[in-house]
């Protein structure tokens, strides 16, 4: 069958592939992204050096009824002849490079995992977009890592001709297309952590609830992103035979002081707190409290009962001030005011929260969606445990992990980059189209009519007898006019 092949320049000009003998060898689609791969035979008269100029251009393919069935970009061009295989490709290209290595710096940093500074080429980025590469290396110095990244950038900054000795009798020139979803992998993504706090070695302590001079303690903090806070960890001990509970509150900020507006609270029995040593204690705050990113809040510690000089609670402190995200204050009941602690210190604490899938997808899209033109989330979302905390991976892998988390009702999520290059994320509804094979291997719709050739059946149900399965991937062969389905 004859399929129409068009190329789209970076400026948006759409042109037919300039070789009349060009034909489509195969097309494929997947539920994670939509159009996946296309293999085009450009014809023996095509010039590979001229074709290399189309790398990164958009590609659109129409079937015989003029339906747009596949869209993506030109990722590779190759010439196969009696001399071997000559190829230009974006696969190995990189125009922003760093090295991950083990530090040889003496002291506390020795053996630590370090990422070198990025080196990049703006001319290549202007032409193709940013394509990152993190090289994984062993133990080395900072200077060696920088030299390795610079040398790698020089080798990969533009597509270069690669030659493989695999001769064939009949000369042909091939173009390989890739779906736009794959460009998420061009950049690396690290989700903003949902666990934060101050956890160095203890240096100092402060008692509260034992005198009017320090009725309560309050540590300010500032989440980097919006999250639903779920727990707080504190390092504490009790003094004397205290009978009333420890109270922990999160309060809003008012001009650099706790406002008294309690947003969430938890109480802990003194029986759970050691009198012999400072031990970490975890308190649950539920999941109903949503904290806004880059907003000041206060973690307030007090006791439920009245002040008592012989009994109370003591919190472990960090007088070396490792926590730049806030300050620690005490409430002086005598002056009815919050005052700076002396000597100055920070509280030892850890706080954890949950983020919604949609919030993480927006963050990922902002970091990696340079080749896409919009993000549309057609799903319900709720707070989820982030499986990506402090983990660097390419944006496509990260998006697949987020899709696997499902929506608020734990339904599986799927993604499609549409013809306008918008990334749509959705949960499949129950009214899916259904397909089945006839005795000749043709794909038929539920009505019995032949499915429109070269279009994508992905996202439908394959029904053969009593067996039903979701179609997750499909490959179409224009020569045989048949589909190979993955379900």
Consecutive H or E run containing 472:
none
Nearest C-alpha neighbor of 34 from the set 426, 483, 466: 426
- Tens digits of per-residue pLDDT, 53-89? 999 999 999 998 899 999 999 999 988 876 778 889 9
In this predicted model, what pLDDT tens digit does every residue of 81-92 receive, in sequence order?
Answer: 767 788 899 999
Reported as a pLDDT band with limits 50, 70 and 90, residue 388 is low
92 and 76 Cβ atoms separated by less than 8 Å? no
Q: Which of 250-254, 310-314, 430-434 has the lowest mean pLDDT?
A: 430-434
Nearest-angstrom CA–CA distance, 268 and 247: 7
Q: Which residues pair with 485 in a beta bridge?
A: 474
Where does 99-141 have alpha helices with state H?
122-128
d(CA 64, CA 418): 20
DSSP string spanning 169-201?
A: SS-EEEEEEE-GGGGGGGSEEEBPPSEEEE-S-
Residue 387 has pLDDT above 80, yes or no: no
What DSSP string describes 250-274?
A: EEEEETTEEEEEEEEEEEE-GGGS-
- The DSSP result for 333-361, as a single string, is TTTTEEEE-SS--EE-EEEEEEEEHHHHH
Rg (CA), the chain: 30
Torsion of CA 399, 377, 190, 148, to 10 degrees: 60
The set of long-range contacts for 249-253, using a CB threshold of 8 Å and a minimum separation of 24, is 249/299, 249/300, 249/302, 250/285, 250/289, 250/291, 250/297, 250/298, 250/299, 250/300, 251/218, 251/297, 251/298, 251/300, 252/297, 252/298, 253/220, 253/295, 253/296, 253/297, 253/298
> Collapsing DSSP states into helix, strand and coil, what is residue 98?
strand
pLDDT at 383: 65
As a whole number of angstroms, the distance between CA 15 and CA 7 comes to 5
pLDDT tens digits along 415-463? 999 999 999 999 887 778 888 888 888 888 888 888 888 899 998 888 8
**Does 47 score more than 80 pLDDT?**
no
User: How many angstroms separate the CA atoms of 135 and 392, rounded?
Assistant: 13
End-to-end CA distance of the chain: 26
Integer Cα distance of 183 and 367 in angstroms = 12
Q: Are 79 and 86 in contact, with CB atoms under 8 Å apart?
A: yes
pLDDT digits over 198-208, tens only? 999 999 999 99
The pTM of the full predicted model, rounded to 2 decimals, is 0.86
SS3 441: coil
Distance CA 150, CA 164 (A): 26
Residue 12 has pLDDT above 60, yes or no: yes
């Amino acid at each position: 069958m004859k399929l129409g092949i068009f190329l789209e320049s970076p400026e948006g000009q759409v042109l037919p592939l300039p070789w009349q003998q060009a034909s489509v060898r195969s097309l494929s689609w997947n539920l994670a992204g939509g159009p996946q791969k296309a293999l085009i035979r450009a014809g023996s008269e095509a010039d590979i050096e001229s074709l290399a100029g189309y790398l990164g251009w958009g590609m659109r393919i129409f079937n015989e009824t003029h339906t747009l069935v596949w869209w993506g970009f030109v990722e590779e061009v190759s010439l196969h002849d009696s001399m071997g295989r000559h190829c230009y490709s974006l696969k190995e290209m990189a125009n922003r490079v760093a090295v991950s290595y083990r530090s040889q710096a003496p002291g506390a940093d020795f053996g630590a995992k370090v990422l070198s500074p990025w080196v990049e080429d703006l001319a290549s980025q202007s032409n193709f977009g940013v394509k990152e590469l993190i090289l994984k290396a062993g133990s080395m110095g900072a200077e060696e890592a920088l030299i390795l990244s610079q040398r790698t950038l020089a080798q990969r900054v533009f597509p270069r001709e690669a030659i493989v000795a695999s001769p064939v009798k009949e000369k042909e020139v091939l173009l390989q297309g890739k779906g736009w979803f794959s460009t998420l992998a061009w950049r690396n993504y690290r989700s903003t952590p949902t666990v934060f706090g101050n956890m160095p070695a203890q240096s100092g302590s402060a008692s509260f609830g034992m005198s009017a001079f320090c009725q309560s303690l309050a540590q300010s903090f500032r989440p980097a992103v919006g999250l639903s806070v779920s727990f707080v960890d504190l390092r504490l001990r009790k003094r004397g035979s205290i009978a009333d509970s420890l109270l922990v509150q999160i309060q809003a900020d008012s001009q650099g002081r706790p406002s008294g507006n309690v947003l969430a609270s938890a109480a802990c029995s003194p029986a759970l707190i050691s009198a012999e040593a400072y031990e970490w204690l975890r308190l649950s705050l539920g999941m109903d409290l949503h904290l806004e990113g880059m907003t000041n809040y206060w973690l307030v510690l007090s006791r439920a009962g009245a002040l008592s000089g012989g009994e109370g609670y003591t919190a472990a402190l960090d007088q070396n001030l490792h926590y730049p995200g806030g300050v620690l204050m005490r409430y002086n009941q005598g002056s009815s005011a919050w005052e700076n602690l002396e000597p100055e210190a920070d509280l030892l604490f850890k706080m954890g929260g949950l983020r919604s899938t949609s919030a993480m997808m927006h963050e990922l899209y902002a970091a990696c969606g340079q080749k896409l033109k919009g993000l549309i989330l057609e799903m319900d979302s709720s707070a989820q445990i982030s499986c990506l905390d402090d983990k660097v991976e390419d944006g496509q892998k990260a998006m697949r992990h987020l899709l696997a988390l499902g929506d608020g009702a734990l339904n599986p999520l799927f993604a499609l980059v549409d013809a306008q290059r918008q990334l749509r994320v959705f949960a499949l509804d129950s009214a899916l189209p259904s397909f089945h094979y006839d005795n000749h291997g043709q794909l038929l719709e539920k009505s019995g009519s032949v499915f429109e050739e070269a279009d994508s059946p992905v996202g439908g149900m394959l029904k053969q007898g009593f067996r039903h399965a979701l179609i997750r991937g499909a490959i179409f062969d224009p020569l045989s006019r048949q589909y190979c389905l993955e379900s």
